[in-house]
């Protein structure tokens, strides 16, 4: 057995030389289910990436993604016990030992063993008294030294304790020490240490069998549960679970909270069955539409584990999809009310992952505010709960539905990071809960705050999907997994691997003055510079001269555009540009025809006065008549002209949540139904108008989430267009979202939000690492700048495919250094990279570090060319920074040649000298073009 295992390990090592393998192969023994197939010893080589391996006998499940693995099993009482998440392990390695040590604390195992001992009470008596230690060491002392029976490790049992004392403390048992001594002896256990480690006795029996059996008291789940219940007064051990119940002694934040008709909420779900499905099992969209990742039978496998509450017979499915091309798993939970009575779903997390104790856990998330979204925050966890959430109706500017756990402060390039994001655009929560023994639960789902879903008999409730990614190469690896997953399995397929046309948006150029003359003047200037699309932002409809009116009145303002949208679009097309339009359909202004006609269509509490004199209301998207109205209304706008781009905005959070349309008992559904109503509208419109590229927006970046990415391949990142601010915002956003999804516009100077002045080159380079556009009035920029702009736009067209299809690297972190930022994108297929470095605050006399590149092939030789070299240099005679007639190259010359190894190890010397100074390089693998 051992020899065989070693041989398999050897095969695995050969097949999995590093973490980057595309697929793993092993020689198998025994019978397992891989995806749909069952394979025997005779079918030796099986690709594991993207498959689910099930040990049918032991009910162990291993989900293999590209190069990582996620494993769990059914425990003796039928809970789904988490075993492992990390680098892929050979399927032949027996992980039952993880399960064993994950069980009740040793103290409780002692209690279990005690039952077994009792069962053996008739065994022949022999003494073992000497080994049992002094009578003064009693169990109470042991408990005190433990301070808890909640799954903690036994810290102090070097002094032997009497079994009697221990047992008394555990269960108030009065059995005599002699009897126990007799029993321990019968088992070959000579001291308490052995008794506490009695697991080894069971373990031996598990090892001797290929299938996993749970002998002795474990065989009977009820007995086992009984033992656990004995400890429940203090808290059940924090067993690592996939779906944690509350109310039965596990005091961590539960994965769900369901209330039965009798008011009870005890619901111990237990394993019932499982099935493995090729590809991805699509959502049912029974409660309404939700976004979801897509996959096909070749690149994914889905495991559905069905649980049942034996008391109420309520059922639920834990659904896992694993992908072969990315280290990601997508999870969701489906509750089926198979009982005769309605139940209330008050909390249902899409994914729960329990992590075993480690030295120091850090939680990383993206938090901020309007105009300052998604700053990276990392903090060390201590005992207790941390909750990152939104209750604003959108995923929010304040917190992003993302959280990552790492052991120690997360590193950019090294170390293991576990990331989670929710495919959802409404109220969410990401919770971490470190319990007293250092174990951490991380989970994410719909925010239970203000959520309550009545599930009638036979009804189904589906949670949104949650994405889990594993990286053993720090935050960079995590970002690459998210980016790759979203690009290949989430973004609208028709826009996959396409670069958005360079657009100019009218907002900061003219705000509400979107007259035909203004728009055409902008369009003409833009066309000359090489801009490919013009997007008319706010102000084109109703009597919209400022933010106080007309939302809902989606007809053209004839005063501004006398000949309508069709003519404007045509004229812009005639300039060789595409035409796009801004809309904000979810809101209605108090001053609008729509509100006069349908005041009942808004979300509000009728008896609570909402101050709306100059404001707007959020339409009640829970109503299908409102959804249909918006679908029809927007369809006629989109059909009215040659519109190829739509910026879908939403400049409000939801307050006074209440739907007149819903019964009092259904008010807890409104936030979630709103979100699903929005998805229904977006789904219909994006399917009806597949040529239109959508950009979603929410007062800037207040709804930047994976849910929106199913419908819009890019999202407006922030209302703050200042390039320096954007460095921070885009840096944080890139942690989860690919650069192609990050709308990044060059705006005018002084910047409208910060009044900061930065060079055109600085602004261009920041925007280049996103979906580049313009947010300025070309008509007002100098001729010299127009020429500069044309050059930038040409560069953008050449370099954007590298940024959009390549892998993104954060080389220098502005958050840490406050002084420097550098980014790089490397397109492996092309062997090309683009790199930019930014100096935020100069520190005269201090040298900058060398800029070490990443992701290149160490053996390949690269040509490094500086693009857009600056002409600024220090005049050593005067000490001034002066403009020189010739370009000043940071590398001393226009280009150098160096191996990938040199560029990554020695790096590039980058002399940036003044605040806002920048350098940019284009790098090519020489073998590709020589």
Binders of ligand GLA in range 53-72 (CB under 6 A):
none
Report the nearest approach of ligand GLA to the CB of residue 485 (Å). Answer: 27
CB of residue 538 to ligand GLA, shortest distance in Å? 4
Question: Cα–chain-centroid distance for residue 251?
Answer: 26
Known catalytic membership, residue 537: no
Task: List phi, psi (to 5°) of 816.
Answer: -70, -50
Least Å from the CB of residue 692 to ligand GLA: 17
678: nearest Cα among 626, 605, 717: 626
Under DSSP, is residue 431 helix (H, G, I), strand (E, B) or coil? strand
Pick one of 81, 137, 705, 719: the residue that binds ligand GLA (CB under 6 A).
719
Part in contact with ligand GLA (CB under 6 A); list of ranges 382-390, 433-441, 462-470, 693-701: 693-701
Residue with smaller CB distance to ligand GLA, 369 or 927: 369
Q: Rounded CA gap, 28 and 40, in Å? A: 7
**Residues composing the chain:** 930
252 close to 433: Cβ distance less than 8 angstroms: yes
In terms of CB distance, is 139 or 501 closer to ligand GLA? 501
Give the nearer residue to ligand GLA in terms of CB position, either 700 or 900: 700
Among 291, 700, 707, 831, binds ligand GLA (CB under 6 A): 700
Whole-angstrom distance, CA of residue 814 vs CA of residue 816? 6
Binding residues with ligand GLA: total (CB under 6 A) = 11
Residues 210-219: contacts with CB under 8 Å, at least 24 apart: 210/30, 210/57, 211/55, 211/57, 211/58, 212/55, 212/57, 212/58, 212/59, 212/60, 212/73, 212/96, 214/76, 216/116, 216/119, 217/112, 217/115, 217/116, 217/119, 218/76, 218/112, 219/76
Interface with ligand GLA includes 242 (CB under 6 A)? Answer: no
Distance CA 121, CA 861 (A): 76
651, 753, 828, 902: which one binds ligand GLA (CB under 6 A): 651
Per-residue mark of binding to ligand GLA, 380-409 (x: CB under 6 A) = ------------------------------
For ligand GLA, the closer of residues 453 and 540 by Cβ is 540
N-terminal to C-terminal alpha carbon distance within the chain: 55
Q: Please report whether residue 812 would count as binding ligand GLA according to CB under 6 A.
A: no
State which residue, 244 or 700, has the beta carbon closest to ligand GLA.
700
- Distance of alpha carbon 666 from alpha carbon 669, whole angstroms: 6
Does 776 bind ligand GLA (CB under 6 A)? Our answer is no
| Angstrom distance (rounded) from CA 605 to CA 544 | 27
Residue closest to ligand GLA, measured at CB: 538
User: Closer CB to ligand GLA, residue 217 or residue 702?
Assistant: 702
**Closest approach of ligand GLA to the CB of residue 539, in Å:** 8
R_g of the chain computed on alpha carbons: 31
- Of 425, 418, 434, 351, nearest in space to 386 by CA: 434
**What is the DSSP secondary structure assignment for residue 542, as one 8-state letter?**
T
Task: Point out the catalytic residue in the list 537, 649, 705, 917.
Answer: 649
| For ligand GLA, the closer CB: 32 or 745 | 745
CB of 593 to ligand GLA, least distance (A): 19
CB of 388: closest distance to ligand GLA in angstroms? 23
Among 507, 679, 711, 812, binds ligand GLA (CB under 6 A): 507
411 binds ligand GLA (CB under 6 A): no
Residue 6 has a CB neighbour count (10 Å cut-off) of 10
93 labelled catalytic: no
Q: According to the binding rule CB under 6 A, does residue 151 interact with ligand GLA?
A: no
CB of 399 to ligand GLA, least distance (A): 18
Question: Looking up tokens 């699903």, which residue turns up?
Answer: 676
Q: Is 695 in the site for ligand GLA (CB under 6 A)?
A: no
Per-residue 3-state assignment (H helix, E strand, C coil) for 702-765: CCCCHHHHCCCCEEECCCCCCHHHHHHHHHHHCCCCCHHHEEEEEECCCCCCCCCCCCHHHHHH
Question: Binding of ligand GLA at residue 649 (CB under 6 A)?
Answer: yes
697 binds ligand GLA (CB under 6 A): yes
716 binds ligand GLA (CB under 6 A): yes
548 makes contact with ligand GLA (CB under 6 A): no
What phi and psi values does residue 454 have, to the nearest 5 degrees? -80, 130
CB of 624 to ligand GLA, least distance (A): 27
Please name every residue paired with 899 in a beta bridge, in sequence order, or none if there are none. Answer: 861
Closest by alpha carbon to 917, among 842, 854, 844, 862? Answer: 842
694 in contact with ligand GLA (CB under 6 A): no
Stretch that binds ligand GLA, among 200-208, 361-369, 421-429, 692-700 (CB under 6 A): 692-700
- Is 538 among the residues that bind ligand GLA (CB under 6 A)? yes
Closest approach of Cβ 716 to ligand GLA, in Å? 5
Q: Segment near ligand GLA (CB under 6 A), from 32-40, 429-437, 696-704, 856-864?
A: 696-704
Is 167 an interacting residue with respect to ligand GLA (CB under 6 A)?
Answer: no
Which residue lies nearer to ligand GLA by CB, 64 or 554?
554
Question: Which tokens is 39 given?
Answer: 């394979």
Q: What are phi and psi of 418, to 5 degrees?
A: -115, 110
Task: Confirm or reject binding of residue 586 to ligand GLA (CB under 6 A).
Answer: no
Query: Strand pairing partners for 344?
Result: 259, 454
- In angstroms, rounded to a whole number, what is the distance separating the alpha carbons of residues 480 and 393? 29
Residue 336 has phi, psi (to 5 degrees) of -115, 120
| Binding of ligand GLA by 699 (CB under 6 A) | yes
Least distance from ligand GLA to the Cβ atom of residue 537, Å: 5
**Residue with smaller CB distance to ligand GLA, 337 or 747:** 747
Which token pair is 818? Answer: 């406050």
- Catalytic residue from among 137, 537, 719, 917: 719
Interacting residues of 816 by C-beta distance below 8 A, sequence separation 6+: none
Using DSSP bridges, classify how beta strands 820-827 and 832-839 pair: parallel, antiparallel or unpaired: antiparallel
Question: Among residues 63 and 708, whose Cβ is nearest to ligand GLA?
Answer: 708
Q: How far apart are CA 565 and CA 540, in angstroms?
A: 9
Least Å distance, CB 31 to ligand GLA, is 57
Q: Check if the beta carbon of residue 398 is closer than 8 Å to that of residue 701.
A: no
The token duo for 837 is: 């470095």
Give the separation between CA 351 and CA 579, rounded to whole angstroms.
41
Q: Any contact of residue 582 with ligand GLA (CB under 6 A)?
A: yes
Helix (H, G, I), strand (E, B) or coil at 95: coil
| Residue 537 found at the interface with ligand GLA (CB under 6 A) | yes
In the bound complex, what is the minimum distance in angstroms from residue 338's beta carbon to ligand GLA?
46
Find the helix packing angle between 106-119 and 199-207, rounded to 10°.
80
Name which of 649 and 866 has its Cβ closer to ligand GLA.
649
Tell me how many helices (H) and strands (E) the chain has. Answer: 23, 42
User: Counting contacts by CB under 6 A, is residue 645 touching ligand GLA?
Assistant: no
Judged by CB under 6 A, the stretch of 83-91, 154-162, 272-280, 697-705 that binds ligand GLA is 697-705
State yes or no: residue 580 binds ligand GLA (CB under 6 A): no
From the CB of 702, what's the least distance to ligand GLA, in Å? 8
**16 vs 650, beta carbon nearer ligand GLA:** 650
Judged by CB, which is closer to ligand GLA: 320, or 716?
716
User: At 647, which helix (H) or strand (E)?
Assistant: strand 645-648
Residues that bind ligand GLA (CB under 6 A): 507, 537-538, 582, 649, 651, 697, 699-700, 716, 719
Residues involved in catalysis: 649, 719
């Amino acid at each position: 057995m051992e020899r065989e295992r070693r041989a398999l390990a050897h095969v695995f090592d050969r097949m999995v030389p590093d973490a980057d393998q595309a697929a793993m192969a092993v020689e198998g023994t025994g019978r397992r289910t891989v995806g749909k197939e069952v394979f025997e010893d005779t079918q030796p080589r099986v690709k594991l990436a993207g498959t689910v391996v099930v040990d049918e006998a032991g009910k162990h499940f291993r989900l293999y993604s590209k190069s990582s693995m996620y494993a769990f099993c059914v425990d003796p009482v039928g809970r789904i016990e988490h075993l492992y998440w990390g680098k892929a392990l050979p399927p032949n390695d027996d992980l039952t030992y993880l399960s064993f040590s994950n069980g009740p604390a040793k103290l409780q195992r002692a209690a279990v063993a005690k039952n077994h001992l009792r069962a053996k009470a008739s065994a022949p008596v022999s003494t073992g008294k000497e080994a049992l230690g002094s009578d003064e060491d009693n169990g109470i002392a042991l408990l005190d030294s433990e301070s808890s029976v909640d799954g903690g490790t036994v810290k102090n049992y070097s002094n032997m304790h009497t079994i009697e004392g221990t047992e008394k403390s555990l269960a108030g048992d009065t059995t005599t020490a002699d009897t126990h001594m007799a029993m321990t002896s019968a088992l070959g256990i000579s001291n308490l240490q052995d008794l506490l480690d009695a697991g080894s006795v069971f373990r031996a029996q598990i090892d001797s069998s290929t299938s996993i059996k749970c002998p002795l008291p474990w065989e009977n789940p009820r007995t086992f549960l009984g033992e656990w219940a004995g400890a429940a007064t203090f808290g059940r051990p924090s067993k690592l679970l996939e779906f944690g119940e509350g109310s039965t002694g596990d005091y961590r934040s539960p994965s769900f909270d369901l209330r039965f008709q009798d008011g009870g909420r005890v619901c111990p779900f237990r394993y019932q069955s499982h099935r493995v499905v090729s590809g991805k099992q699509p959502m049912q969209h029974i409660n309404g539409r939700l976004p979801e990742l897509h996959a096909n039978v070749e690149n994914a496998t889905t495991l559905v584990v069905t649980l049942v509450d034996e008391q109420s017979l309520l059922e639920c499915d834990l659904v896992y999809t694993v992908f072969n091309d990315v280290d990601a798993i997508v999870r969701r939970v489906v509750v089926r009310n198979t009982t005769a009575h309605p139940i209330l779903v008050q909390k249902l997390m899409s994914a729960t992952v329990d992590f075993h104790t480690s030295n120091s856990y850090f939680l990383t998330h993206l938090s901020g505010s309007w105009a300052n979204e998604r700053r990276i925050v990392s903090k060390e966890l201590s005992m207790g709960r941390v909750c990152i959430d939104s209750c604003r109706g959108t995923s929010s500017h304040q917190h992003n539905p993302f959280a990552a756990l790492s052991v120690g402060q997360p590193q950019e390039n090294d170390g293991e990071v576990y990331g989670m994001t929710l495919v959802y655009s409404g109220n969410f929560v990401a919770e971490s809960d470190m319990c007293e023994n250092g174990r951490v639960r991380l989970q994410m789902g719909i925010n239970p705050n203000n959520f309550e879903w009545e599930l009638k008999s036979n009804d189904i409730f589906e949670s949104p999907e949650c994405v889990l990614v594993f990286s053993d190469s720090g935050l960079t690896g995590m970002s690459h997994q998210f980016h790759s997953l979203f690009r290949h399995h989430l973004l609208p397929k028709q826009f996959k691997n396409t670069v958005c046309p360079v657009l100019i948006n009218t907002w900061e150029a003219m705000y509400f003055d979107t007259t035909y003359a203004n728009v055409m003047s902008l369009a003409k200037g833009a066309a000359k510079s090489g801009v490919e699309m013009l997007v008319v932002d706010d102000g084109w409809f109703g009597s919209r001269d400022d933010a106080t009116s007309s939302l809902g009145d989606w007809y053209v303002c004839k005063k501004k555009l006398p000949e309508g949208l069709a003519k404007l679009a045509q004229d812009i097309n005639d300039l060789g540009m595409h035409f796009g339009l801004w809309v904000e359909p979810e809101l209605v202004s108090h001053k609008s025809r729509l509100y006069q006609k349908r005041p009942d269509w808004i979300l509000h509490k009728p008896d609570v006065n909402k101050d709306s004199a100059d404001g707007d209301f959020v339409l009640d998207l829970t109503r299908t008549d409102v959804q249909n109205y918006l679908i029809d209304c927007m369809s006629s706008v989109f059909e009215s002209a040659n519109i190829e781009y739509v910026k879908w905005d939403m400049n409000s959070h939801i307050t006074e949540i209440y739907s007149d349309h819903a019964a009092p008992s259904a008010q807890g559904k409104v936030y979630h139904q709103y979100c699903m109503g929005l998805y229904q509208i977006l789904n219909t419109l994006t399917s009806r108008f597949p040529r239109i590229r959508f950009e979603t927006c929410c007062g800037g970046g207040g709804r930047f989430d994976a849910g929106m990415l199913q419908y819009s391949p890019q999202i407006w990142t922030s209302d703050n267009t200042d390039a320096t601010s954007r460095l921070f915002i885009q840096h944080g956003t890139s942690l989860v979202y690919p650069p192609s999804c990050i709308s990044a516009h060059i705006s005018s100077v002084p910047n409208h939000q910060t009044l900061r002045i930065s060079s055109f080159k600085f602004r261009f380079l920041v925007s280049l690492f996103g979906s580049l556009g313009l947010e300025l009035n070309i008509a007002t920029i100098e001729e010299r700048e127009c020429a500069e702009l044309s050059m930038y736009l040409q560069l953008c067209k050449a370099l954007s495919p590298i940024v959009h299809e390549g892998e993104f690297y954060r080389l220098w972190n502005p958050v840490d250094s406050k002084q420097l930022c550098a980014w790089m994108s490397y397109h492996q297929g092309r062997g090309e990279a683009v790199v930019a470095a930014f100096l935020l605050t100069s520190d005269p006399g201090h040298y900058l570090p060398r800029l070490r590149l990443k992701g290149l092939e160490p053996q390949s030789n690269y040509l490094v060319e500086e693009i857009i070299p600056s002409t600024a240099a220090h005049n050593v005679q005067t000490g001034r920074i002066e403009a020189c007639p010739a370009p000043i190259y940071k590398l001393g010359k226009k280009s150098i040649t160096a191996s990938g190894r040199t560029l990554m190890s020695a790096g590039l010397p980058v002399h940036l000298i003044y605040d806002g100074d920048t350098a940019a390089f284009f790098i090519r693998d020489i073998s590709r073009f020589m």
